Structure 1
Amino acid sequence: MEHKLDLVALLGHVDPVFLNYQEWVNVGMALKYEGYTASDWDEWSRRDSGRYRPGECFKKWTTFEGTGNPVTGATITQMAKDNGWLPRSANDHELDWDDEIAGGDYVVIDKNWIEGKEIHEPADWNPVQQLTTYLSALFEASEQVGYVTDTWQNEEGKFLPTKGAYDRTAGELIQALNQCGGDIGAVIGDYDTAAGAWIRFNPLDGKGVKNDNVTEFRYALVESDTMDIEKQNAVMRELELPIAVMVYSGGKSLHAIVKVDAPNYDEYRKRVDYLYTVCKKNGLSVDNQNRNPSRLSRMPGIERNGNKQFIVDTNLGKVSWAEWHEWIEGINDDLPDPENLTDTWHNMPKLAPPLIEGMLRQGHKMLMAGPSKAGKSFALIELSIAIAEGIKWLAWQCTKGKVLYVNLELDRASALHRFKDVYQALGLPPSNISNIDIWNLRGKTVPMDKLAPKLIRRAAKKNYIAVIIDPIYKVLTGDENSADQMAHFTNQFDKICTELGSGVIYCHHHSKGSQGGKKSMDRASGSGVFARDPDALIDLVELEITEALLKQEENKVICSIYQRYFERHNPVYLRDSVSQDDLLSAKQMEDHSRRAIYNTEQDAAQAEIKQALEAVRIRSAWRVEGTLREYPKFKPVNMWFQYPVHKVDEVGSLKDIDPEGEAAPPWKKATGKRKDKAGEQRRSKAEEFEDAVNNCNMGEPPTLKDLTEWFSSTGKQVAERTIRDWINKYGFMIDKNNGSVVVKKDGDDH
């Protein structure tokens, strides 16, 4: 049967606990008249666990035979209206707990990464103070307060409250509490410590405890017993709920008394629907039976089954419902309004200050890309140190400030040692190491969309001007070749920049294959998003070190070591006897050392030279190129990587070296293609001639006549002189003994 209204859904607004017997029977009659089943009535009746009896609904159901004046669904509709339900327009419907609020997500937090926040029982247990604080926070002195200390047990042994008292004002209760000498039972009545006690959070008229008796629709109860207490505490706080008082129930839940400040019951219902839906969307599964404004909540200052019911906190979150509602709505539309250029033409906003001069501003993003052997991690450690100390990084001056280095790849000990090794290799005193924080996450990483909020939360008050993430493949989410998935991934860096105001610098690897012939922005592996997204793309490509360059560098090292020894042990000889040309010759400097430096110092110099030469032979050469959004393009910077640091090539030794796999200029490519084509043609003619030699005489060595006839038989007339040229050109000869054509051997001649 099709129903105009879902009466079962409407019964969600009607609590059987507050109905008398005849009202309960009327619900059953109405359901039967409208075509529902006894099971529907029974399921709803179970909510009154105190009076519910299994099978009673089904027995009573059979006695409803119908009368001339039947009880219809209108009775249930009116009951729902009395409890705050309002019929909606044709284009709207009553919100169900699985419905979405139209027009927005209203998701403030991600329940998957929210970390729990512990609650702490008061060190000095003072029941009177607990209840006094609660009453003062929620009520005016003249307002009537409802509370319950008397209980009864159902068949399942559950303690349930009675209607309780509702004839005293908050002021009267507070006065009595102040005069009771600590005996709270003398004021509110003795209670069963196994059951605890309850209190109503909205003021009453002193005539009853139903919704009709509520005089001010000021507060709503938010309670969830389906998640850990610590998580409940964290979610409620993260949601910025305008909580007047938060009470621990002594059981599985927190009771948050939330300010809704509704002018009437209808508006109260709408606001509670909104409140509960926002809570649910953010992972807090609220008990929907608590929507009534006359609902009971746990009373603080009471003991319950060995646990204390106490106030966790007061005045949390936003100041009022209006402020909270505006904040939630603002989250749904956080886009800035368009602005007219004339408004700022003569008063331009200040640009973000530089983080790396000529390369990157604070609050912007930089990607460093390079192959695995480029020492990218060391370069980022060097950058961390340069920012911490306010010195140059490679060829660029850095702004001094705090930096967070997110280590995703190295174990903790290795990472810490690397920082110390780099400091020492750079010859820097650890003057500002307090500016460097290292977050070691090897083996504990999560995808970037989960890591970003955790990082933001930890870094929020640290004033970092840079966050360095090394490397990103450890936190990569999705297919790195998918543009939309990588756009979502890189958006997490925007969140960090926006929330912290710091620059984000991250590291990625090159695609496979030779990189020399590619532009810098095409070398990073994966989607082109990696190249287009950052404000600065810094790329490292290896240079091919020639043997001549290696000898030149070895010569420089030897000369510099000998010169240093002369300056230390015989500066007079250096000044008077060593020419400028000699200073550039390793052999001459070695000869001078034999004449003018003692054997002991000479041995020490030789040992140092040996060690230095080994370092030279294992170092690699690199070129730093880049694509910048905020600054002009810079000239490529050449550098050496000599473990564990990079050193800029200040003297220009690497300026004419091509990167590995560097493509030739166009004119050279054309020449190469012509040569390759000619080579292919030569190989083709040689192979053709070899086939002729092998086949024209049934596999036996042919004569010059045999070859001439063979080519003639293929329709290709070839002169004997030409064939003689081919014999010599393609590695054959004519045997003088029998005139046959055979393969030429080393040392043979015609």
Structure 2
Amino acid sequence: MNQSKFDRAKAWVKATPGAIAGQNGHGATFAVATALVHGFELTRTEAETLLCEYNSKCSPPWKPHELAHKLNQAQIVSHDKPRGWLLESHSITGQGGTPISPTGKFVVRKIQEIPKSDFRFSTIDFLKACFEPDEVVCICNDIVSDEEGRSRPASKGTFLKREEWIQNHFTPPISSMWNGPDSRGAYVRINPCLDESGSDSGVSAYRHVLIEMDEKSKDEQWTALKESKLPLSVVIDSGGKSLHGWVRVDAANKEEWAERRDIVYRHLESIGIDPKNKNASRFSRLAGVMRNGVEQKLIAVNVGAVNWEAFKDDLDAQDLPMEFTLDSIIEYDPKNDPDNLIGDRWIRRGSSLLFVGQSGCGKSSMAAYQGLKWASGADWFGVRPVRSLKVVYIQAENDIADQHDALKGAAQMTFGKENWERGLRNANMLFFRETVRTGADFAVMLRRLVRKTKADLVYIDPLLSYMGGNPSDIEVCANFTRHLLQPIMMETGVVLVLVHHFPKPKGKDDKPESVADLAYSGFGSSDLTNWA
């Protein structure tokens, strides 16, 4: 089901940084009021509700009569964009950018609505788009449902040649078993069949890979499929929550099919797809038939690249350095940077920070204090975030007792001795302990955690517990930071804060270090500082 106008506006407000006094706060808040009233076409009550949510992120918050005035003005001023323009296309994440991340992983940035057309594709159109005349196609309309209402095929299905299906079942007049009021839909295997086993070994042509992602709205799913540039034979509305994309991989055998399937899944992994569809004999929904009164609709045919080779060529071309075009450099607006998180672009999405100090000096407590401040939208020694940030703290050295003592102290510094507990509960900050995983294993866990929590900022404390090698070895250091951490930052926009310590003190006769020298004072390879 598509999101309502209110839900879409709510997601937009959630992703929009709060206004800050002295940084065009009046203009920023009026722009939000205008977007709610005019861009999303909300009622006055709906707009007031969401503007109050936005106000909770503003520093300082506006008074009620000030918010009411901005809504009044938004309703009466003239606008240069049509009413409802934000319902046609808007940012999912509040960020700008292209559909492909700098690492080559696919990332959706803009929602596009599913195209509407008076033309209706039929089941015959679907069958001709996906199968050859003499190929055996397996279709199943024998369906059972579990206690939660989830449907599945109750048999291996019926195996007929494509032309037999067309002539005997889908040439009008069509039986009510397919489109009548009692029809519960039908399934079709994504590849033609060699026998009636219904297994992967019974596939005669390894042509298609199935992808779906039913945790997103259908407009988001359509955008992901379309902008991925994958060679899609068809895109089908399942009649439920999901769209099904049939990726045409045209593999020579089962082994090549598996290789190409994995390429498809890696290409889409950053937006999340259903991992259960990894077999070549998988059932999808049959286009053109009715499912409990809703059509399993064929939305589009031949979307994206013309074939697998063209897609792969385009994918390989992305394996180049990220280009900043002259236009993008010239047109960048430093006063309107949606990726800015802290200060005057001191820390932007996808950047990093080293938090370095000598052993035993209280680095962890100070880092936790910094995180609590920024999670609360407050400044840390004058360094202020643009809004309350979602902060995650991963550490290796403290058990629950140590964590209590450290956090209590940091929370009392942040919220005061009387209010520290309430402030800590309300802070947008999560705490985790990881004592085993290092190197690549740690990076895999970190990627999952960032996606699950939607964190803006993640503290990794201490760095040496997770690097998995000698930090003085430039290859070890570069592999961990540039090859394991950097892709996560660029794919998700998360900021990583590495808590690290100085090497052992130098001799008493050594000269004091300059400020420039201190930049490289963390233990290990200088590449750590160069990366951060």
In the superposition, the TM-score normalised over structure 2's length comes to 0.46
Higher relative contact order (CA 8 A, sep 6+): 2
TM-score normalised by the chain length of structure 1? 0.34
